[in-house]
Chain A
Amino acid sequence: MINTDILIIGAGPTGLFTVFEAGLLKLKCHIIDALPQPGGQLTELYPKKPIYDIPGFPEVLAGELVDNLMEQIRPFEPGFTLGERAEDIEKLEDGSFIVTTNEGTKHHAKVVAIAGGLGSFEPRKPPITKLEDFENKGVSYMVKNPESYRNKDVVIAGGGDSALDWSIFLADVASNVTLVHRRNEFRGALESVDRVKELKDMGKIKLITPAEIVDVQGNGHLDSVIIRKNNDPKEDFTLDTDYFIPLFGLSPKLGPISKWGLEIEKNAIKVDNTLDYQTNIPGIYAIGDVNTYPGKLKLILCGFHEATLMCQSAYQRIHPDKRYVMKYTTVGGVTGFDGSKKEAPKAVVKSID
């Protein structure tokens, strides 16, 4: 069991900054995120794109902003549960919470802050009717254990980096790798595209373009896919295969959080914006893109503000008997849980002789 003061769901900019504001109040944080790395959309979708509306940064790359936030919160030693999705929540009698991930990791926290952005990133599934019947029976949306494909026939669909990279990797493992893409052009890194071409010329990858998988077949386990070439049903053909791996990237889904009994409106969680961004369940807050209230704007800078007010409220909730007034970092400095201390240099008094 992981124990913490504030359990943050979502390691995007809002979730990361929460660690800082909580740290100033001596509250410890732990963050859960479904992605394997922190940063949320910023690192997953657009790390190399500039953002122009972070106060004080005329221009900053999304990836740099995340690096900066990670540096800023380092003294407060946040814990991370990455690559796991928050699945269930249970409220205990003392008002604290236990949040369990899809992998079964349990987190015990006095306060839960949902900073889940647009939701957790899930693989995009192509609209093939019977696809779900074969999930884990020949169809998977990510390669978890490459060894399980040894000496098997594998069909991969998609035109981005993951489709290219896994085709390259599995070319040495599987007995046959077929890569199917709707266009002749691929949008992955140039080296990967070149490598796939080499492997194709060597006969180690079979490339079928422009084409797409339109159906999957099998009895219990997948045994073949139907491939449509040139978008023409007359050119449909069956290809025997043990595995089919559609790799069409990730898209965010609100997911299990939507079943936690929180008030949902417009695919977002309703919160009290007049006070502290608390949800209809006391002790659970929602901040950043995941929440909604009259006049809501999904901006990083608004998420920072919401995180700050939320932490003050969380402090009151965790320490109902303590008195506290907010202190400027310039006055109080920043004292990390790691023993580090940053503070403004003292004024030097020196007389002129």
Chain B
Amino acid sequence: MNPDINITIIDREGQCHDVKAPTDMAMNLMELVRSYELAPEGTIGVCGGMAMCASCQCYIQSDTPLPEMEMDEEAMLAEAFFVKENSRLGCQIPLTPELEGLKVELAPEEI
């Protein structure tokens, strides 16, 4: 069985990318964006995935069921900028088969 799923990512320039995402490597959405280099290194996943910066913030554009937010993520989003109702931190969303068809847009980079 091919463990890859399909995810759509709109980068910070508005460009749409349909990518294959592995679900068997314990990767998360932030790492997926980095693996396809859809945002320049150093502008995403700055803290390495500890929910301690908001550089991987994205807006969820599909009604795909997502894991619930944990306290760390909620607290970080409370301090992040450009936050919307549908904001999540990519590093807190593990890639699982349930995410098939997920569509997200990367939030702007904090200056």
Contact = CB atoms under 8 A, between A and B. Distances in A.
A249 interface: yes
A159 B53 contact: no
Interface stretch (A181-189, A190-198, A199-207): A181-189
B82 A127 contact: yes
Nearest to A183: B78
B110 A266 contact: no
B40 A267 contact: yes
Given A118-B46, A251-B53, A252-B46, A266 B79 contact: no
B83 to A, nearest CB: 8
A159 B80 CA distance: 11
Interface string B72-100: 00010011011100000000000000000
B19 interface: no
B50 interface: yes
Given A124-B110, A126-B81, A127-B111, A46 B42 contact: no
B41 A49 contact: no
A251 B46 contact: yes
A45 B78 contact: no
Interface residues of B, number: 19
Nearest to B55: A251
A267 B42 contact: yes
A159 B79 CA distance: 7
Interface string A138-162: 0000000000000000000011100
Contact of A248 (B52, B75, B79, B111): B79
Given A185-B78, A249-B79, A266 B40 contact: yes
B111 A45 contact: no
Contact of A46 (B46, B52, B75, B110): B52
B42 A266 contact: yes
B47 A181 contact: no
Nearest to B108: A127
A109 interface: no
Nearest to A128: B81
Interface in A124-141: 124-127
Contacts of B82: 127
B46 A159 contact: no
Given A45-B52, A267-B40, A127 B81 contact: yes
A125 B81 CA distance: 9
A61 interface: no
Contacts of B40: 266-267
A187 B75 contact: yes
B47 A45 contact: yes
A312 to B, nearest CB: 28
B35 interface: no
B41 A268 contact: yes
A183 B83 CA distance: 12
B41 A46 contact: no
A266 B53 contact: no
Given A118-B42, A251-B46, A160 B79 contact: yes
B43 interface: yes
Interface of B: 40-43, 46-48, 50, 52-53, 55, 75, 78-79, 81-83, 110-111
Given A126-B81, A251-B55, A267-B43, 11 more contacts: A124-B79, A124-B110, A127-B81, A127-B110, A181-B78, A182-B78, A182-B79, A187-B75, A251-B53, A252-B46, A267-B41
6 contacts: A45-B50, A127-B82, A159-B75, A160-B79, A268-B41, A292-B41
Interface of A: 41, 45-46, 49, 118, 124-127, 158-160, 181-183, 185, 187, 248-249, 251-252, 254, 266-268, 292, 298
Report, nearest first, the 3 A-B pairs whose CB atoms are least far apart: A267-B42, A266-B41, A187-B75
